[in-house]
């Protein structure tokens, strides 16, 4: 993908502060972090979203995320962490190369990753399950 900034990072054409690399995945610091130490993990092969990724790339990427999350936690003072993946512009994805955010969390940091809760009416929860199950 010619215009993809994360492909350019993978190819070494633009700089990134890397923390991890293997044959299929790469981990680097987000330049505009939600908390300091916020990392991104991406497959080396371009895919737009989670659902476009091959199983091998997906497995390598999630295993890399686990390694990096552990290192974030240990390296930044037993921090907690949130794992976030934005898929599609409706979900806030800006860079169209699939990536997982690992955001370190600290006691009393100011970050809020919370949503308000809706309620299902009557049988609605089952109807939603059916809509989803049709495509499993
Ligand atoms: P998303 O909204 O999930 O697509 O997030 C894209 C993330 O990529 C944002 O948090 C940006 O701060 C980050 N980002 C954009 N360009 C770069 C870059 N060149 N190096 C590191 N992180 C970047
Ligand atoms: Zn790409």
Give all domains of the chain, ordered by start, each with its CATH number.
Answer: 5-133 (3.30.428.10)
pLDDT of 2 strictly over 90: no
pLDDT tens figures, 24-67: 999 999 999 999 999 999 999 999 999 999 999 999 999 999 99
Residue 101 appears among annotated catalytic residues: no
Mean pLDDT to the nearest integer, 18-25: 98
Q: Provide the pLDDT for residue 49.
A: 98
Cα of 129 from ligand 2 centre, angstroms: 33
Q: What ligand has the least distance to the C-alpha of 18?
A: 1
Q: How large is the greatest C-alpha to C-alpha distance in the chain, in angstroms?
A: 55
Q: Convert 109-132 to b/e letters by CB count within 10 Å (16 or more is b).
A: eeeeeeeeeeeeeeeeeeeeeeee
The length of the chain in residues reads 136
- How far apart CA 104 and CA 123 sit, in angstroms, is 39
pLDDT of 1 strictly over 80: no
């Amino acid at each position: 993908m010619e215009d993809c900034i994360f492909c350019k990072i993978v190819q070494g054409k633009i700089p990134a502060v890397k923390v991890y690399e293997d044959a299929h995945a790469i981990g680097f610091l987000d330049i505009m972090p939600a908390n300091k130490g916020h990392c991104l993990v991406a497959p080396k092969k371009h895919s737009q979203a989670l659902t476009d990724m091959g199983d091998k790339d997906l497995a390598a990427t999630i295993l890399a995320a686990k390694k990096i999350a552990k290192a974030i936690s240990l390296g930044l003072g037993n921090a907690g962490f949130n794992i976030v993946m934005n898929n599609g512009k409706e979900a806030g994805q800006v860079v169209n190369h699939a990536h997982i955010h690992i955001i370190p969390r600290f006691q009393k940091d100011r970050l809020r990753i919370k949503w308000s809760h809706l309620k299902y009416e009557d049988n609605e929860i089952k109807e939603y399950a059916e809509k989803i199950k049709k495509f499993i």
